[in-house]
Structure 1
Amino acid sequence: MDKSVIKFNHCHKDIFCFFVPDQCPECGVSFSGKRLEEAPVSIPNPFSNGHKVPCAFLVASTEDNVLRDFDGRSDLHTGITNTNGIVYNYTKAGVQREHQGWERCICVPLVQPDMFSLMSQWDQYLEKFSSAQMWDPLWQSFNEETHNCYSYTLTFINCVLATQSKRALSKDEFTQSFVLPRIKRASKYMMLCREISQNHFYIVDSPRRNSQESPSEDEDSKSN
């Protein structure tokens, strides 16, 4: 799963694979000694090592099978990193502080590089927040719907926003703006990886071909 997904175009097809083959898997034309019409492009990997992204919101899958990650069927877990990449996350046992285990996740940076004042206080904010009674399982139990890892991370984010005199974000607002787009991107990437792992290639019609064909189709419809 560490292989990079690349895309190249040939015979009006977008072809996704882990490496450029010797011949086109669609039409069989040999690429030996020939140049592709367009250079292959690398598809950005949406996953990062969360321990190397300080002051960030993380989303990770709880599944061991990496091909099942973010497919809509696996459970997801969220956390917040401190400036040293330690991941604070809320579980049934309370707040955990983990130095490993988040090497493959979706990351949403929460602090701009020039926000030195906030960054210098980040660890203090996070530790104080995590030590609050509301995250102590002896005082308030973990609840899958209302008091969980997501409510922990979002509540912390809103506490930080309050220190910056900024308005709080609702669960729906934060999810729609920052989480869902990244999860959808990760889901599509995982689909590509599954298809390529099983079939060596993933081939679809090039959008460019469709756009080129549509004007003629319009003209035909007008002539009729």
Structure 2
Amino acid sequence: MQPLELETGLIKFTHCKKDIYCRCVPESCPLCGQSAVRSWKLEDAPVSIPSPFVSGHRAQCSFVVKPTNGVFLGEYDGCSDLHVGITSSKGIVYNYNETGIHRDDAGWQQCVWVPLVPPDLYALIHQWDAYLEDFSAADYWLSHRYREQDHNCYTFALMFINSMLALQGKKKFNKNEFTERFVLPRTRRASKYITICTEISQNYFYIIHNPENRYN
């Protein structure tokens, strides 16, 4: 499959009591053939649906997720392995795998992300890169210590996050807590977005017949 060029977002409008997603609003409704823009009620007017994906190299001080191989849009099957990392304040993605620590300045252009530092915490942002570099340099992250099940990229990311929380006197997260609170809501949204983009790439529109199941 080829990557889909829909990272800039989608448009949703309502017609025939259906939610219709597309790249841009058509002149006529794909369901009834009548004007898609005439006499719109406010609740039916087009709204922009932003992409849930960002470039990890533009996501400052964040937890980022991408497919281990390929990209989300057009290539991810929903079952393949995911890879995670932590970004520096300059967009370098620190990540850990069977070959050790990596500091990537490319390759993370399409990620689900969780911001970790409020933009007004200038002191922490200023020290973030030094903390991240020192943490990554520990022997604990040598390649021979890697274990796919319990000493992996997620271990690396979560341990760093918890070290930053401890530094601020805040409660640490276990893997389930962090995943359920921060990661799953974003990956579920991304999964719905991928479904919509795939349908649009094949049929130009994605139509939700039951508004209660709409993408939010």
With normalisation by structure 2, the TM-score equals 0.89
CA-based RMSD: 1.6
- Given that 2:85 and 2:95 are in contact with CA atoms closer than 8 Å, whether structure 1 keeps it comes out as yes
Give the letter aligned to residue 10 of structure 1. Answer: H
Q: Deviation of residue 62 (structure 1)?
A: 2.4
Q: Which runs of 5+ in 2 are unaligned?
A: none
Match of 2:49 among 13, 38, 43: 43
In structure 1, the residue matched to 2:23 is 18
In structure 2, the residue matched to 1:80 is 86
5 Å matches for 1:181-192? 181-192=185-196
Match of 1:202 among 194, 200, 206: 206
Distance 2:87 2:163 in 1: 15
5 Å matches for 1:103-122? 103-122=109-128
Give the letter aligned to residue 109 of structure 2. Answer: E
**Which has the larger displacement, 190-199 or 18-27?**
18-27
Match of 1:177 among 181, 190, 202: 181
Distance 1:186 1:101 in 2: 19
Tell me the secondary structure at the aligned position of residue 143 of structure 2: coil
In structure 2, the residue matched to 1:215 is none
Distance 1:204 1:99 in 2: 39
Q: Which runs of 5+ in 1 are unaligned?
A: 209-224
Q: Residue deviations 1:106-125, cap 9 Å, x none? A: 11111111112211211111
In structure 1, the residue matched to 2:150 is 146
Q: How many residues align?
A: 204
In structure 2, the residue matched to 1:125 is 131
With normalisation by structure 1, the TM-score equals 0.86
Q: Percent identity?
A: 51
- Given that 1:23 and 1:30 are in contact with CA atoms closer than 8 Å, whether structure 2 keeps it comes out as yes
